[in-house]
Structure 1
Amino acid sequence: MSKLLASLLLAATALTASAAERFPLADVRLGAGPFLDAQNRNRQYLMSLDPDKLLAPFQREAGLPLKAPSYGNWESHGLDGHIGGHYLSALALLYASTGDAMVKERLDYFVNELKKCQQANGNGYIGGIPEGAKAWQDIAKGAIKADNFTVNGKWVPWYNLHKTYAGLRDAYHYGGNQDARAMLVGMADWALKLTAALSDEQMQDMLRSEHGGMNEVLADVYELTGDKKYMALAQRFSHQALLRPLEQGKDELTGMHANTQIPKAIGFERIAALGGDQQLHKAAEFFWRTVHDRRTVAIGGNSVREHFNDDKDFSSMINAVEGPETCNTYNMLRLSEMLFLRDPNVRYADYMERALFNHILSSQNPDTGGLVYFTPMRPNHYRVYSEVDNSMWCCVGSGIESQSKYGEFIYAHDKDALFVNLYASSTLEWHEKGVRITQTTRFPDADTSRLTIDGDGVFTVKLRYPGWVARVAMQVKVNGKPVKVDGKPGSYVNVTRHWRKGDRVDVTLPMRTTLERMPDQSNYYAVLRGPIVLAAKTQPFANEKLNVFAGDSGSQVPSGPVCPLEAAPMFVSDTRDFVKKFKPVKGEPMTFTAPGLIQGGGAAVLKLIPFFRLHDSRYMIYWPYSTPANAQATREATAKAEAERIAEGAQTIDQVAPGEQQPESDHAFAGEGADAGVARGKHWRRASGWFSYVLNDRKLEAKILRLTFDGGDAGATFDVLVNGRQIATVTLEKNTQGFYAKDVAIPSELVNESLTVKFVAKPGAMAGRLYGLRLLR
């Protein structure tokens, strides 16, 4: 299997004279440290999942008997089968990382059961999309109705299928399962036949809906088979609405659903790497720079409520409880690695270190292995962790993959050069050189790492000089003797020699405490020690028993009480250069206090620790800053801005963000003649026919529907219905307030646990544009 993956990567990189290659994941084993701990916890989580429950959607759609009922949550609400695809990938990656025979047995069982489904379908198809056959038949005929998250009424069907494609690819490449290869090619042939009669315009219309990395995986099939028809289909699955602005160097990402876009860019880079249009590489690289340089917060994540915020205004990052989505970082890591293979620049490695240690590691619960969807940057909020039996979110799927492949980027090579990208305990088998390299380190608790050579040969060790280490601070010794560090932060330090068994390379990477301001340069700061984000546990509500697990609802949103921003502890200093006030705590590695700097919110007992070690608690990552003279005024201004929002939040029973993918899906969006968009940084929904949502009112408290409109819209006239009964007619008129709210009373006799709210356009008019919908007590 190792030789198979190595030859695959060699063929791909040879086409573009790539500057670096990955080692097969099977050639790297993790040593003691946080990565290995996370990998072991993930194995327990993976093996706790019931494969027959994950197989149930595929068996149901193939007309086969079920061995177990399907899981609930997203696996029974329209995205049926998506976790099964992720599960294949995770098992394959974990097997490659460990050689665990039980994991391999589970992988082969899953592939074999899917093979039965493909045979029963008889056309190459494997999928769990509920009643998907009719939708696919209509698509093949060109009868396509698509919006940002549905195609012919099905929830992101190509996104869903992409997980199965990718799972089969990984089962073959990492798991060595030969059946998976044939099944993958069969699925690609099905897609070719399905889309053969579609025009380019129809394809692009269909791609308005999230479709994962379909262009990437079809390019992989081309590489696997050498048949250009798969590359042609990969290019047809490349979304021009995203590609064209990127090719022109235009950032039009504000308001876009973030994780819909990142896999597209991965596909652009993959096509380019396999000899396709090199303009796609420029687009992918520009996309990476735009997201990394302008839209990424300290932990390496991005997005608010799943969407890219305005790069000049990160206020929503502070206000919202739905902070960076873990799936986004999973995909940004994949894109970063691809770009590194073409151009082994330390900026990619620095980002990967930052994201792996601060977002990916932190997204796993250290006791249960449960995974996080949203990581709020809002002061004094918290995260929610998945549970094996009731949480089937996308971030569980990508999470079980991420926690299975920490060894993938530690090393890379280019002919006679070895890149040491991450300082993490591990052992590498470099078969081409007949060399074993063992790295031992307690990073990040220690700033040193040792590489021990077992073998004999001439090659160059390229040691990453991280951007977070000061100039002339990095130290390197070979067999105890200092060597000249010919490099600077953001480069590689080259050590070339005839290596012999027992040679040692000792690297010292002095860590500094630094401050990192919110990307929009507002007065919020994160604290880092080297690349590690530090955070503090907080308890703003006395005696609060915080429930950090999804529970029976399976909700991924940390929707507990929101602490007012003015109650958050803050940095108070006469100067912004207050980094010297952070003091290490004796006997507690990577732990700091800041006497006199932190004020309010239990400041006297707060300790800053690595965020990836902070769990089951509210926390502070971004801290507000003020001078002593302005501290009280800052709190008062914040309190005034917060008061209305907090009051409305307390009054809210349920709410929808119209035009935003996950909130609409969670509330059973339906419509005819509907479209969505973004204006002035806010999403909207409208329809020439109608659109509707289902809101929940389990305690039967509903009194009011609060609708939000833009004062610049005028002329639209539509009816508002609740459970089929008209309760109001709304005509939009000019309003100088900008965004404004209109309240509609709900008749008491209509109050129910489930309320279907429908907006129906009058003849010749539009329903909407609607920017917000709240159900109030």
Structure 2
Amino acid sequence: MKATVENKQLLEDVQNIYLGNLGTIDTNISLPSTGKNGSQFQWQSDEHLFITDDGKVTRPMPGVGNRVVHLNLTAKLGNKTLQKQYTATVIQEPRKVAIDHLVDLKLTIHSSSYDLPQVVVVKLADGSYTTAEVTWQRDFDPAALTQTISGTVKENGASVKATIKRVPQDEHGWHNPFKTLPVELLGDNPYISGSQTMLTHLKTIDTDQLLFNFRQAVGLPVDPEKQMTGWDAPDCKLRGHTTGHYMSALAFAYFDTHESIFKDKLDYLVTELAKVQQTFTKLGAHPGFLSAYDETQFDELEKYETYPNIWAPYYTLDKILNGLLDSYHYTDNQQALAIATKLGDWVVARLNKLSHQQLTKMWSIYIAGEFGGMISAMVRLYRETGRQSYLQTAKLFSNDKLFVPMLTNYDTLNNMHANQHIPQIIGAADLYEETGDENYLQLAENFWNLVVNHHSFANGGVGETEMFHEADAVSKYLTDKTDETCASYNMFKLSQQLFEITRNSKYMDYAENVLNNHLLVANDHQTDGGSTYFLPLRPGGMKQYDTDIDNTCCHGTGLENMVRFQKDLYAFDGESLYVNLFYDSQLTLPDDNGIISQQVKKNHMSVQTDFKSPIAVLIRLPDWMTNLAVTVNGVVAPLNREKGYLRLPALVGQNTIELHYTSRVTVKTAPDNQTLAAVFRGPDMLVKQTDEQQLLAMTTDQLESGTGLVPFNTVHSGHYHAYFKVK
């Protein structure tokens, strides 16, 4: 009996070890020596040059590359011993390149409430661009239509100028006519199988486990057997984020299916979180506060504390807040909006006490200052309530280090954390929609173009060890840590948003690629809610799935991927209906106005409509669709193109649209190595399943025939090659 107890206590101590995010190590690691049950821990590093046995970290020199280090744990309790290995990636020091010259700022602004940016763009000696802190000689004069202000760059004392032109503009906003409608997935394809496995998983979740950290934070009763693990362990500084993702996933699951089990689970979570919020206030927290920990991390961020001493408190808050807003928007849970409103008031009160300089410094801090989708969350609160304070506070999350170079179209993304910044751009697009300020749209479009055209892999994924690297650099970054799932999740959201604003097909072209060849690939084929943190693209790579044991950021977004994006297969504005993505599916229009469905087979798509009133149908025409022939009710239709879409005349009643085409085989070469390529058949990236660890050489004919290659999104386990050497 004693041995059984010791086993259980030892296992519990090991499971509760919290080392932070081991995927991007840039500072010392705190390696615990004991567990709460008395277990003794001994650590041994297999590469003392980069991580010592006591957790001291030495980063590799610039240009050497990141280093993977294994930390081997031996845990003992009584006569019981348990061993476990942790894999850590120590990221290299950023290259320090001298400033060549400064770039004078030329900005047009549309608001009198404007703060001068705290950074300017500088060109480095190697030809790349970055930002540098600047001190201005005087403040912006809101009464002047045009003014030039001088400043000094702190790094080298050089002078720089900012010419500010003010063009007054009423905040009229942009009306989004598109309606969010549930789409039913049909047929037999990786999307519907991924959706079904996720729905099955969501039905099994233990809501009391998701509430554990919240209840413990305020002293409410908890069951010790229901502790969260991984990045949601009781001593992890990011705890609470997974619960927010689960709430969003449950909301979309109910929106998709209307099965009561999802709403029942969500209603229970919301009710219990309301109790936690009330208890926080009774215990002396500032009114409205809600989290899985107290306000300390927010206090420390305002003192510019860094990771891992704190870990992105506003990022966690974003997940909770958006989970509540999704609960309200997609399941009509009024209590969720009430909780979110109080939490939004807490954010308003907190941030409006801080200066622009303080906020800018906070948001520029690596990881600790990551605030996820807080701009979007505050804008959503404004949309639901009409309270201007939420919209004004959303603007306080503007990050000069990102927004200034993106607005002026300078690529400063090298060495920036990818997923820390993509949601900020989504927020900028949200601010454009509500204010009409063209600067927000311009910087969002510039960012999208830079990332998609110069910082993405062939399948649309971005980042390596979570970071952006040099523009057009692919070949040296094909590793086990490419394609962070969170980043692709957010790039899809940004693309869909920019499509709605512009109706340009290029945004959905990218969305199709990243959904089909990363997000569907990242989804575990088992019903455990797993998804990849990174999607390896190295030769002989193999997927590893994070589940609720790990609770990484990508496990969180992975919960949403299979139930969130099917609503974006179509877009309907009341008059025009866009067919954006091609999967067997059906959409029922609001107000009993009819249905549209599509069935996709090899080189053929059939679209069925039954509309009560005339509706124009637009079908996206991707580059991979060649030799296209279209008929409507058996009659050949002209190929009238509009921003990358086939526009058909307004249809009413029952109609059949047939598309016959050839799925082009496309060989995409890496921009930095023309002998390195990925291959696609139609929208599908193809891979070769083999244990071989060296780059495979194939002729162009072999690649174009696709012999022995399979769609990436059908591969669950085993080694594969996604890039090939072209002979």
Q: Give the TM-score taking structure 1 as reference length.
A: 0.68
CA–CA distance in 2 between the matches of 1:264 and 1:431? 32
Find 1:32's aligned residue among 184, 187, 190. Answer: 187
- Aligned residues of 2:416 and 2:468 also touching (Cα < 8 A): yes
- Taking a change above 3 Å as real, the CA distance of residues 434 and 110 of structure 1, as seen in their structure-2 partners, is same
Instruction: Tell me the amino acid that sits aligned with residue 514 of structure 1.
Output: T
How far 1:582 moved relative to its partner? Answer: 3.8
Indicate the residue corresponding to 2:292 in structure 1.
128
- Taking a change above 3 Å as real, the CA distance of residues 36 and 406 of structure 1, as seen in their structure-2 partners, is farther
Indicate the residue corresponding to 1:475 in structure 2.
629
Aligned residue runs from structure 1 range 190-205, under 5 A = 190-205=346-361
The runs of 5 or more residues in structure 2 that have no matched partner are 1-170, 282-286
Find 1:361's aligned residue among 520, 534, 542. Answer: 520
- Aligned residues of 1:458 and 1:496 also touching (Cα < 8 A): no
SS of the equivalent of 1:476 reads strand
- Aligned residues of 1:45 and 1:370 also touching (Cα < 8 A): no
Aligned residue runs from structure 1 range 498-509, under 5 A = 498-501=651-654, 503-509=655-661
Indicate the residue corresponding to 1:16 in structure 2.
174
SS of the equivalent of 1:16 reads coil
- Aligned residues of 2:520 and 2:713 also touching (Cα < 8 A): yes
Instruction: Tell me the amino acid that sits aligned with residue 199 of structure 1.
Output: S
Find 1:609's aligned residue among 690, 710, 713. Answer: 710
Deviations 1:129-158 (A, max 9, x none): 3xx33344566xxx51234x46xx321111
- Taking a change above 3 Å as real, the CA distance of residues 312 and 477 of structure 1, as seen in their structure-2 partners, is closer
How far 1:204 moved relative to its partner? Answer: 1.5
Find 2:395's aligned residue among 212, 235, 247. Answer: 235
- Aligned residues of 1:311 and 1:519 also touching (Cα < 8 A): no
CA–CA distance in 2 between the matches of 1:426 and 1:569? 37
CA–CA distance in 2 between the matches of 1:32 and 1:581? 29
Deviations 1:39-68 (A, max 9, x none): 110012223332211111111112211145
Aligned residue runs from structure 1 range 162-241, under 5 A = 162-208=318-364, 209-241=369-401
Instruction: Tell me the amino acid that sits aligned with residue 29 of structure 1.
Output: E
Indicate the residue corresponding to 1:621 in structure 2.
722
Indicate the residue corresponding to 2:277 in structure 1.
118
- Taking a change above 3 Å as real, the CA distance of residues 415 and 15 of structure 1, as seen in their structure-2 partners, is farther
How far 1:119 moved relative to its partner? Answer: 1.1
Q: Give the TM-score taking structure 2 as reference length.
A: 0.72
Name the count of aligned residue pairs. 543
Deviations 1:338-385 (A, max 9, x none): 101100111011111111111011111223452111111111111101
How far 1:15 moved relative to its partner? Answer: 3.5
Detail structure 1 runs of 4+ shifted over 3 Å in the superposition: 134-139, 579-583
How far 1:14 moved relative to its partner? Answer: 9.0
SS of the equivalent of 2:221 reads coil
How far 1:394 moved relative to its partner? Answer: 0.6
How far 1:274 moved relative to its partner? Answer: 0.9
Instruction: Tell me the amino acid that sits aligned with residue 371 of structure 1.
Output: S
Instruction: Tell me the amino acid that sits aligned with residue 644 of structure 2.
Output: S
- Supply the RMSD in Å over aligned alpha carbons: 1.9
CA–CA distance in 1 between the matches of 2:296 and 2:688? 52
Indicate the residue corresponding to 1:771 in structure 2.
none
Find 1:291's aligned residue among 421, 431, 451. Answer: 451
- Taking a change above 3 Å as real, the CA distance of residues 117 and 17 of structure 1, as seen in their structure-2 partners, is closer
CA–CA distance in 1 between the matches of 2:487 and 2:661? 29
SS of the equivalent of 1:102 reads helix
Instruction: Tell me the amino acid that sits aligned with residue 370 of structure 1.
Output: G
1:425 aligns with 2:600: no
Instruction: Tell me the amino acid that sits aligned with residue 403 of structure 2.
Output: L
CA–CA distance in 2 between the matches of 1:608 and 1:64? 55
1:381 aligns with 2:381: no
1:330 aligns with 2:494: no
CA–CA distance in 2 between the matches of 1:362 and 1:403? 11
- Taking a change above 3 Å as real, the CA distance of residues 338 and 497 of structure 1, as seen in their structure-2 partners, is closer
How far 1:519 moved relative to its partner? Answer: 3.1
- Taking a change above 3 Å as real, the CA distance of residues 207 and 477 of structure 1, as seen in their structure-2 partners, is same
How far 1:201 moved relative to its partner? Answer: 1.2
Deviations 1:53-97 (A, max 9, x none): 111111111221114532111111221111001111110011111
Indicate the residue corresponding to 1:58 in structure 2.
214
Instruction: Tell me the amino acid that sits aligned with residue 198 of structure 2.
Output: N
Instruction: Tell me the amino acid that sits aligned with residue 474 of structure 1.
Output: L
How far 1:17 moved relative to its partner? Answer: 4.4
SS of the equivalent of 1:403 reads helix
Indicate the residue corresponding to 1:774 in structure 2.
none
CA–CA distance in 2 between the matches of 1:194 and 1:17? 30
- Aligned residues of 2:351 and 2:396 also touching (Cα < 8 A): no
- Taking a change above 3 Å as real, the CA distance of residues 270 and 497 of structure 1, as seen in their structure-2 partners, is closer
Identity across matched positions, percent = 30
- Aligned residues of 1:379 and 1:620 also touching (Cα < 8 A): yes
Indicate the residue corresponding to 1:517 in structure 2.
669
Indicate the residue corresponding to 1:546 in structure 2.
none
How far 1:16 moved relative to its partner? Answer: 1.3
CA–CA distance in 1 between the matches of 2:222 and 2:721? 46
Instruction: Tell me the amino acid that sits aligned with residue 383 of structure 2.
Output: E
- Taking a change above 3 Å as real, the CA distance of residues 38 and 436 of structure 1, as seen in their structure-2 partners, is same
- Aligned residues of 1:518 and 1:525 also touching (Cα < 8 A): yes
Deviations 1:567-595 (A, max 9, x none): 33212x4xxxx247643xxxxxxxx31xx
Deviations 1:137-189 (A, max 9, x none): 566xxx51234x46xx3211111111001101100111211101111111010
The runs of 5 or more residues in structure 1 that have no matched partner are 1-12, 541-562, 584-591, 594-606, 627-777
Find 2:613's aligned residue among 457, 482, 499. Answer: 457
1:569 aligns with 2:696: yes
Indicate the residue corresponding to 1:662 in structure 2.
none
CA–CA distance in 1 between the matches of 2:428 and 2:318? 16
CA–CA distance in 2 between the matches of 1:14 and 1:450? 41
Instruction: Tell me the amino acid that sits aligned with residue 492 of structure 2.
Output: L
- Aligned residues of 1:25 and 1:407 also touching (Cα < 8 A): no
Instruction: Tell me the amino acid that sits aligned with residue 373 of structure 1.
Output: Y
- Taking a change above 3 Å as real, the CA distance of residues 478 and 14 of structure 1, as seen in their structure-2 partners, is farther
